[in-house]
Amino acid sequence: MKAPPLEQSPELVSLRRVLDESAAVPVLLFFATGVLWLLAGTVFGLLTSLKFDMPDWLAAIPALTFGRLRPAHLNAVNYGWASLAGAGCLLWLTSRLCMTPVRLRGGLIASVILWNLGVLYGTGAVLLGYGGSVEWLEYPLPAAAMIGAAFLLFAASILQTFRMRSVQHLYVSLWYTVACVVWFPFLYVAANLPIYSGVVHGAVNWWYGHNALAVWFTPIGLALAYYFIPKVIGRPIYSYYLSLLGFWSFALFYNWNGIHHLVGGPVPNWLQTISIIASVLMVIPVMAVAVNHHLTTVGHFRHLRSSPTLRFTVFGAMCYTAVSFQGSLESLRGMQEVVHFTHYTVGHAHLGVYAFLTMILFGAMYYITPRVARWNWPHPGLIKLHFWLTAGGISIYVIAMCTGGILQGYAMNESVRPFAQVIDLTRPWLIARSASGILITGGHLVFAYLFAQMLIHAGPRRETAPWEEAAA
């Protein structure tokens, strides 16, 4: 590419260090607590899965019954791990793209504390039996209020940093970032209002559940992928023009998808149809993003070998394409008739929040942490181990759950088959899922170990400083 860089100034070299320093404390706090929730959430998840295989194991402890562990897992990994780590990444990214230090840092510290207390309170409440049984909205209201307030503090910091920007052009990652911090509070408050009942509550539930992905998690993943793929490869994205189309079609269509979770249910037909149409329309933004991410990478696969960030991010971006097409297909009535209510949905959810989002978060953290912690990753071998354990684990997971789910769905729709047969049919696939869970847990332990080494500056130091690594 020949076009001259838009920002050219000699101070930039030192400016980057100033920016990283300004972001260091809040970002590391977000990351570190996020990793703790990742570990807790993984344990909950693994236990949940094992409960299917061994229902009589630990069966006398109320807090460890399936129906409490499952929501504890969902909430801990989403509001704990993915949200906290994602918020940390967005802070760093906003400062980078606005070329200005992170603002309102005091508020950010308060935000981390409040956020963690909220997740701790909420998850504890679910385990102790105070969960609300409304998926994604199980936390008691005080916990939700704490998380909401923490999010507002975080959003204020992002918006203030954005306001003080010293750049002319707003890079595409910034649109997603700024949009999601505006969207999410509206969504969270609207969904938590204690005013709904009956089927309207069901609609609100899934409007929220799907939109937590549409307006918070997916924008995080896309913002990071739009930055790190071109940045690590050293080549601008394939078509900036397309990214524009992608953003606005994403904003228009994605938040209409939610009611496809109730296809065939007691909500009005027109509502289901609208959501199915919107789900299919998602093909447009997904194509735009897919073209951009994949065609930027094409021809540069050798970097996958050398860069941990790229390896995780490209894996995540490929899974985004996969999960989105899967989602559009899955929303169709013919498909829903079979896979609705089965383990297929669980496989789909993990392809989204894990294989897409979490893998991209790992990649981003491999890039950001050395800069803010001023230390290099020790043990490159362990990073590779982390990648193969998690990538392998989640692949087995998704394949097992989706195959098992389809079989389960067909068997359930054969009314002559007794229900017990349906249970027996899914058993091997659930065991495969638990096996994949063990791999993933191993990967997370490795990652947590590496991250702790970074925090305490342990392990062998590599020659170059992180900010001098560019010319590798």
Partner 1 sequence: MILPPRSRYHFSYGHFDTELRYRRMNVPPATLLLVVLSICGAALALAAFVWAVRTGQLDQTNAGGLVIFDDEEPAGTPSGPIFPKRKEGAGL
Partner 2 sequence: MLFIRLWMFFAGVLATLFLGWAALIGVPGVQLASVPAQPGLRPYTYEEMHGREIYMREGCVYCHTQQTRPQGFGTDQKRMWGRPSVPGDYVYDRPHLLGTSRTGPDLLNIGARQPSRDWHLAHLYNPRAVVPESIMPRFPWLFEEKTGTGPQDVPLAPGSHIVATREALDLYAYLLALNRTYPVRRAEP
Instruction: State the binding partner of 183 from partner 1, partner 2, ligand HEC, none, CB within 5 to 8 A by kind.
Output: partner 2
| Residue-wise DSSP of 203-236 | HHHHHHHHHHIIIIIHHHHHHHHHHHHHHHHTS-
**Is residue 424 close enough to count as binding partner 2 by CB under 8 A?**
yes
**Is residue 259 close enough to count as binding partner 2 by CB under 8 A?**
yes
Is the C-alpha dihedral spanning 383, 389, 395, 401 positive or negative?
A: negative
**Is residue 256 close enough to count as binding partner 2 by CB under 8 A?**
yes
* Contact mark string toward partner 1, 91..120, x via CB under 8 A: ------x-----------------------
Q: At its nearest, how many Å lie between partner 1 and the CB of residue 79? A: 29
Q: Are 287 and 256 in contact (CB under 8 A)?
A: no
Instruction: Please give the size of the binding site for ligand HEC, defined by CB under 6 A.
Output: 4
| Residue-wise DSSP of 395-407 | HHHHHHHHHHHHH
Task: Using the rule CB under 8 A, give the single segment among 28-36, 125-133, 181-189, 378-386 that binds partner 1.
Answer: 378-386
**Is residue 268 close enough to count as binding ligand HEC by CB under 6 A?**
no
Instruction: State the binding partner of 295 from partner 1, ligand HEC, partner 2, none, CB within 5 to 8 A by kind.
Output: none
* Interacting residue with partner 1 among 44, 162, 228, 397 (CB under 8 A): 228
Q: Using CA atoms of 87, 89, 90, 93 in order, give the dihedral in degrees to the nearest 10.
A: 160
Show contacts with partner 2 in window 352-411 (CB under 8 A).
Answer: none
The CA distance from 251 to 373, in Å, is 35
User: For residue 325, which of 297, 289, 361 has the smallest C-alpha distance?
Assistant: 289
Q: At its nearest, how many Å lie between partner 2 and the CB of residue 408? A: 8
**Is residue 423 close enough to count as binding ligand HEC by CB under 6 A?**
yes
**Is residue 270 close enough to count as binding ligand HEC by CB under 6 A?**
no
The CA distance from 394 to 392, in Å, is 6
**Is residue 325 close enough to count as binding ligand HEC by CB under 6 A?**
no
**Is residue 419 close enough to count as binding ligand HEC by CB under 6 A?**
yes
Show contacts with partner 2 in window 333-352 (CB under 8 A).
Answer: 333, 337, 340-343, 345-346
User: For residue 53, which of 423, 468, 456 has the smallest C-alpha distance?
Assistant: 423
User: For residue 33, which of 158, 123, 159, 164 has the smallest C-alpha distance?
Assistant: 123
The CA distance from 123 to 259, in Å, is 26
Show contacts with partner 1 in window 137-196 (CB under 8 A).
Answer: 167, 169, 171-172
* Interacting residue with partner 2 among 47, 70, 111, 326 (CB under 8 A): 70
Q: Are 285 and 246 in contact (CB under 8 A)?
A: yes
Place of tokens 């750049």: 167
**Is residue 81 close enough to count as binding partner 1 by CB under 8 A?**
no
User: For residue 253, which of 282, 230, 292 has the smallest C-alpha distance?
Assistant: 282
Q: At its nearest, how many Å lie between partner 1 and the CB of residue 236? A: 3
Task: Using the rule CB under 8 A, give the single segment among 80-88, 103-111, 231-239, 326-334 that binds partner 1.
Answer: 231-239
- Cα 263 from chain centre: 25
The CA distance from 227 to 9, in Å, is 21
Q: Which is nearer to partner 1, 3 or 193 (CB)?
A: 3
Task: Using the rule CB under 8 A, give the single segment among 143-151, 303-311, 420-428, 440-448 that binds partner 2.
Answer: 420-428
* Interacting residue with ligand HEC among 66, 196, 325, 467 (CB under 6 A): 66
**H or E stretch at 288:** helix 283-297
User: For residue 282, which of 319, 243, 325 has the smallest C-alpha distance?
Assistant: 325
**Which two structure tokens, joined as six digits, stand for 315?**
């894996």
Q: At its nearest, how many Å lie between partner 1 and the CB of residue 257? A: 16
Show contacts with partner 1 in window 20-79 (CB under 8 A).
Answer: none
Instruction: State the binding partner of 367 from partner 1, partner 2, ligand HEC, none, CB within 5 to 8 A by kind.
Output: partner 1
Instruction: Please give the size of the binding site for partner 1, defined by CB under 8 A.
Output: 60
Q: At its nearest, how many Å lie between partner 2 and the CB of residue 54? A: 9
User: For residue 293, which of 313, 309, 311, 307 has the smallest C-alpha distance?
Assistant: 313
Q: Which is nearer to ligand HEC, 293 or 350 (CB)?
A: 350
User: For residue 313, which of 219, 225, 386 has the smallest C-alpha distance?
Assistant: 225
Q: By three-state DSSP, how is residue 391 classified?
A: helix
What are the residues binding ligand HEC (CB under 6 A)? 66-67, 419, 423
